[in-house]
């Protein structure tokens, strides 16, 4: 069973969201997602300054067998893409909730309060329903 | 590996397995009003004997003219071994099989092709080929938009000196995908794109600059200055190059301080006969940094589980069969047979042979220009160096002159008046190593006669 930290928010498309003290959020893919993809060989993260809409594809994670889009969990402006992943995409496999974060977003006004994130318990139910 | 079509029994077994009554049932989901009822304009089928006869008659109608037309397709000597080997059963399929790794020989050939093209262009990585030079140019523009993440405009600067067909194909392919192609003027005295004309774009968001070398007029652009201008403004450089010329000219990987970002071109000069216009093949190369944005197949060299070297399709996660609608491109095949011929051609010629071919073509074109400009009423349109094509200006309309030459068995060149009316009565001519001094003299003598007769009339 994959790890689902209790202090994070989740989406049905297997992204996690961590709300940071400065009001920005960090976004990554879950342990379940990295495990399903397999060894990552390439990660494309968005450029700082890019405005994204909720559910817009804004990053790509590519493994030896598949490439998948990562969706913006909420509307906002990208403040950083994780620079480490260019050279070390495998960090997403080894530390999906820590050093393997994909991007930081500054939420658009109201976007954070209106977003319908899943709690850790609800996301766990999604995984159980998917057979994971 | 055998390529055997399905028998009727195979088809029946497959339909039974999936529970379909017939093949037509598999197309149920296409609405009837979208389906073509009959193919108007397509004649009924002919058998092999009939089609053979028809094609022989048509080929005879062409005659065997002495051709001085280049304009994107070039007549070069093709060693007999090239097509003798290419048409061997092991190679004679346009397709890599779907289980590509089963055909290690095919994959190795593509790998060698990629290596040769990468070395010829001075670039880091090449794909397994594209359809032709024009579609490769269009794909390069689309690729530049994906690769240049600093630019949001999708504006592509295209010199007027780019092959006009390439520009039209690029617009047709990419304009509906939001790309904006903007034409750069050329200097009518020199036939090249002046760097000074770029100043008006300073400070604007431009995604890429296309540079053709030699350009459509056969002239040499100042590729170093153009490349450096673009790179100083975070604009990507797309080189469109002639592979024969690369044996003598600076490769795109060395243009300016950093080299071009993407280099594409028409591969036909490498062992592919003119064949009334095709099929040809395109090639595409780039920096490793942009390899995931490059369309098409790529073959890599790897080790199998037992540590033995082998070849495999690589970076497939960009492609249609994995990424579906989000694939890097809808190009997911290559011109396998023509690539086979080109690889054998390059192997036989070697770097020195290709350089000798290029030098001979250049020398013949100089001889041609010197001869034709001796004819009264004919002069060279542009000053400055050219490779194996040049623009001549006549003192009368080109079309009737070409027709008279054609009656004498000479294809005298391409009439530019429809493409570049500002050049007046202009004619693009080309000579390669296939033309002898006697051929060139025959052209000069015929042109002289034709011009004199026209003047007298």
Domains annotated for chain A, with CATH where assigned, are 9-108 (2.40.50.100)
Beta-strand runs (E) in chain A: 9-10, 15-19, 25-29, 40-44, 51-52, 57-63, 67-71, 76-81, 103-107
Final residue belonging to a domain, choices B324, B343, B362: B343
Instruction: Compute the distance between CA of residue A48 and CA of residue A76 in angstroms, rounded to an integer.
Output: 11
Give yes or no: residues B378 and B328 share one domain. no
Give yes or no: residues B398 and B318 share one domain. no
Q: By C-alpha distance, which of B241, B387, B347, B327 is closest to A68?
A: B327
Instruction: Compute the distance between CA of residue B160 and CA of residue B168 in angstroms, rounded to an integer.
Output: 11
Q: Is the Cβ–Cβ distance between A117 and A17 less than 8 Å?
A: yes
Residue B209 DSSP SS3: strand
Give yes or no: residues B315 and B426 share one domain. no
How many independent structural domains does chain B possess? 2
pLDDT for B19: 94
Are B322 and A67 inside 8 Å of each other by CB?
A: yes
In a domain, B356, yes or no: yes
In the predicted model, what is the mean pLDDT of chain B? 93
- Here the contacts of B10-14 (C-beta below 8 Å, separation 24 or greater) are none
Q: Answer whether residue B261 shows pLDDT above 80.
A: yes
Beta-strand runs (E) in B17-121: 66-67
Are B318 and A63 inside 8 Å of each other by CB?
A: no
Instruction: Compute the distance between CA of residue B84 and CA of residue B272 in angstroms, rounded to an integer.
Output: 13
Q: A120-124, B9-13, B41-45, B439-443: which range is least confident on average?
A: B41-45
In a domain, B387, yes or no: yes
Give yes or no: residues B339 and B370 share one domain. no
- Bridge-based pairing state of the strands A25-29 and A15-19: antiparallel
> Measured at the alpha carbon of residue B50, what is the angle toward residues B45 and B55, in degrees to the nearest 5?
100
Q: Is B71 left (phi over 0), alpha (psi -120 to 50) or beta?
A: left
Residue B308: domain span: 83-343
Q: How far is CA B185 from CA B12, B197, B214, in A?
A: 61, 7, 16
* pLDDT tens digits along B57-82: 998 988 889 999 999 999 999 999 99
pLDDT band of B96, cuts 50, 70, 90: low
Give yes or no: residues B373 and B332 share one domain. no
In a domain, B44, yes or no: no
Final residue belonging to a domain, choices B323, B343, B363: B343
Closest Cα in chain A, distance from residue B222 (Å): 33
Closest Cα in chain A, distance from residue B116 (Å): 27
CATH number at residue B233: 3.40.640.10
In a domain, B157, yes or no: yes
Q: Is the Cβ–Cβ distance between B147 and B290 less than 8 Å?
A: yes
In a domain, B426, yes or no: yes
Give yes or no: residues B310 and B400 share one domain. no
Stated pTM of the model:
0.88
pLDDT band of B38, cuts 50, 70, 90: confident
Q: Which residues contact B81 (CB under 8 A, 6 or more apart)?
A: B344, B348
* pLDDT tens digits along B130-167: 999 999 999 999 999 999 988 999 999 999 999 999 99
Q: Is the Cβ–Cβ distance between B236 and B102 less than 8 Å?
A: no
Q: What is the Cα B272 distance to its own chain's centre?
A: 11
Chosen from A43, A61, A67 to mutate, greatest number of chain B CBs within 10 A: A67
Are A67 and B317 inside 8 Å of each other by CB?
A: yes
Give yes or no: residues B419 and B311 share one domain. no
* Residues of B in Cβ contact (< 8 Å) with A62: 292, 317
Give yes or no: residues B262 and B336 share one domain. yes
pLDDT for B1: 47
pLDDT for B2: 58
Task: List the end-to-end C-alpha distance of chain B, in Å, as a whole number.
Answer: 65
Final residue belonging to a domain, choices B298, B327, B343: B343
pLDDT for B457: 82
Q: What would the DSSP string read from start to end of B252-312? A: GGGSTTT--SEEEEE-TTTT---GGG----EEEEE-GGGGGG--S--EEEEE-TTS-EEEE
pLDDT for A16: 97
In a domain, B381, yes or no: yes
Instruction: Compute the distance between CA of residue B82 and CA of residue B341 in angstroms, rounded to an integer.
Output: 6
* Residues of A in Cβ contact (< 8 Å) with B322: 65-67
Torsion, Cα B337 B341 B347 B350, to 10 degrees, reads -130
Are B149 and A47 inside 8 Å of each other by CB?
A: yes
pLDDT for B44: 87
Q: Is B70 left (phi over 0), alpha (psi -120 to 50) or beta?
A: alpha
Instruction: Compute the distance between CA of residue B44 and CA of residue B320 in angstroms, rounded to an integer.
Output: 35
Closest Cα in chain A, distance from residue B284 (Å): 22
In a domain, B177, yes or no: yes
Give yes or no: residues B437 and B338 share one domain. no
pLDDT for B323: 74
* Residues of A in Cβ contact (< 8 Å) with B292: 42, 44, 62
pLDDT for A25: 96
Give yes or no: residues B365 and B287 share one domain. no
Q: Is the Cβ–Cβ distance between B244 and B345 less than 8 Å?
A: no
| Average pLDDT score over residue span B206-211 | 98
Q: Which residues contact B86 (CB under 8 A, 6 or more apart)?
A: B92, B337, B340, B341, B344
Closest Cα in chain B, distance from residue A113 (Å): 30
Across the interface, which of B149, B292, B317 has its CB nearest the CB of A66? B317
In a domain, B60, yes or no: no
Give yes or no: residues B411 and B290 share one domain. no
pLDDT for A112: 87
- The pair of structure tokens assigned to B239 is 């080189």
CATH number at residue B428: 3.90.1150.10
| Average pLDDT score over residue span B279-300 | 94
pLDDT for A131: 76
Q: By C-alpha distance, which of B130, B159, B339, B359 is closest to B239?
A: B159
Give yes or no: residues B289 and B241 share one domain. yes
């Amino acid at each position: 069973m994959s790890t689902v930290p209790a202090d994070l928010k989740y989406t049905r498309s297997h992204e996690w969201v961590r709300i940071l003290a400065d009001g920005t959020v960090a976004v990554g893919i879950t342990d379940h997602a990295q495990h399903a993809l397999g060894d990552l060989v390439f990660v494309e993260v968005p450029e700082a300054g890019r405005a994204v809409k909720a559910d817009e594809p804004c990053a790509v994670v590519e493994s030896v067998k598949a490439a998948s889009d990562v969706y913006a969990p909420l509307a906002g402006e990208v403040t950083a893409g994780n620079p480490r992943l260019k050279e070390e995409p495998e960090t997403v496999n080894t530390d999906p909730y820590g050093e393997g974060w994909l991007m930081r977003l500054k939420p658009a006004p109201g976007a954070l309060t209106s977003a319908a994130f899943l709690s850790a318990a609800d996301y766990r139910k999604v995984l159980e329903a998917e057979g994971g | 590996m055998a390529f055997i079509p399905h028998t009727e029994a195979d088809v029946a077994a497959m339909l039974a397995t999936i529970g379909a009554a017939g093949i037509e049932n598999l197309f149920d989901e296409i609405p009837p009003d979208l389906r073509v009822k009959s193919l108007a304009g397509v004649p009924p089928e002919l058998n092999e004997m009939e089609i053979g006869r028809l094609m022989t008659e048509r080929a005879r109608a062409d005659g065997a003219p002495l051709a001085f037309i280049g304009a994107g397709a070039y007549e070069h000597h093709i060693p007999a071994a090239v097509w003798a080997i290419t048409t061997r059963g092991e190679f004679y399929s346009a397709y890599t099989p779907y289980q590509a790794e089963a055909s290690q020989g095919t994959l190795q050939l593509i790998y060698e092709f990629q290596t040769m093209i990468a070395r010829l262009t001075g670039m880091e990585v090449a794909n397994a080929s594209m359809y032709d030079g024009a579609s490769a140019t269009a794909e390069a523009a689309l690729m530049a938009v994906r690769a240049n993440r600093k630019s949001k405009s999708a504006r592509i600067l295209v010199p007027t000196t780019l092959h006009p067909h390439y520009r039209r194909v690029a617009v047709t392919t990419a304009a509906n995908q939001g790309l904006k192609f903007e034409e750069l003027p050329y200097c009518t005295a020199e036939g090249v794109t002046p760097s000074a004309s770029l100043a008006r774009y300073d400070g604007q968001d431009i995604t890429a600059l296309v540079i053709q070398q030699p350009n459509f007029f056969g002239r040499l652009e100042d590729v170093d200055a153009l490349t450096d201008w673009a790179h100083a403004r975070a604009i990507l450089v797309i080189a469109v190059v002639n592979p024969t010329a690369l044996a003598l000219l600076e490769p795109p990987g060395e243009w300016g301080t950093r080299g071009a970002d993407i280099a594409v071109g028409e591969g036909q000069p490498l062992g592919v006969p003119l064949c009334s216009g095709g099929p040809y093949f395109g090639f595409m190369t780039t920096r490793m940094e942009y390899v995931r944005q490059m369309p098409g197949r790529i073959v890599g060299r790897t080790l199998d589980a037992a540590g033995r070297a082998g070849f495999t399709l690589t970076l497939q996660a960009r492609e249609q069969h994995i990424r579906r609608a989000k694939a890097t491109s809808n190009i997911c095949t290559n011109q396998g047979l023509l690539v086979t011929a080109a690889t054998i051609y390059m192997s036989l010629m070697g770097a020195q042979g290709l350089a000798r071919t290029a030098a001979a073509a250049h020398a013949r074109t100089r001889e041609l220009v010197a001869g034709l400009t001796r004819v009264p009423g004919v002069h060279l349109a542009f000053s400055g160096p050219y490779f194996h094509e040049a623009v001549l200006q006549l003192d009368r309309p080109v079309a009737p002159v070409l027709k008279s030459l054609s009656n004498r068995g000479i294809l005298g060149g391409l009439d530019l008046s429809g493409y570049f009316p500002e050049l007046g009565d202009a004619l693009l001519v080309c000579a390669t190593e296939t033309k002898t001094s006697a051929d060139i003299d025959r052209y000069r003598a015929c042109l002289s006669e034709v011009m004199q007769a026209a003047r007298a009339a």
